[in-house]
Chains A and B, each alone.
Chain A
């Protein structure tokens, strides 16, 4: 059933992701062309602009996909007899896959840009701020591709929370009460996740792990250092999740178990199809 839902929605998801990538590439080409024959300093600035566009989209697209997952018109699944549970699972799966795919593709393009733009001009690259090169695999190693599933996990967790709130709110009769219940759940969610992140962070610092999965740090409790990387810079991305951090994993699995149990006990609708 999850496969069927994925197949039904793949074209629209593909279109959205492709459009995002196309815009990034357009910006890259456009801005690059503007820098032909310019000084090194200016070229470095322009490179930062291009990376900034890429970085912006790495926030925008996952959020867009999340909003699309929440607000898309899907009553035809209900007509066809798909259970609400399966529908949610199908949407979640699609959200994960397309977010990860988009970000992976972005990182590949960012890396290509990194190579092409700075070809034969290492001085320019030297003047470009390392923080902007968040998505370049040249700067941070292939391991940074793990950022794709990590951000996908983040938006999926958000969707799961939306699902919990939706189920909680359905039973409540009055609108002001509905809003109150939703806010309470949201507050609990943020509090819980903040705690988990802090715990993950603390254990991570103790073991020299980082927020964003970097090749030269990260990993559960014992620091295992894979071979040669360039930067030791720790980057921050609000959608990144330390998915290789055991404390984080445990915390989130607990959350998912809670969500699953809650939804099943409260029930999505009074009379679901068997």
Chain B
């Protein structure tokens, strides 16, 4: 994984894992990699992974079982809810940026339709 050097690694990995969970790549009940394995994979300090897992646990997206393994929550509805929150947050931030550049809602949605559309065509 490539990391941006001026954003906390912790937040970058947390976001990455959230996306994996939301997209279903890490489906409900999937076992997450061990702290050591993920640290080696990402080439980061394992203490960072510890923080990431702690944060995801607190958000109830993952849980720890008796063997100390980390699993994605089985609550699909909850994930959906969190996914919507994610969309809402990102959209709000995106909208703010576009507004600052003087672009209005209409131009933006039109462009988004084109971008998503061309992606659909490519598939």
A and B touch in the complex (CB under 8 A): no
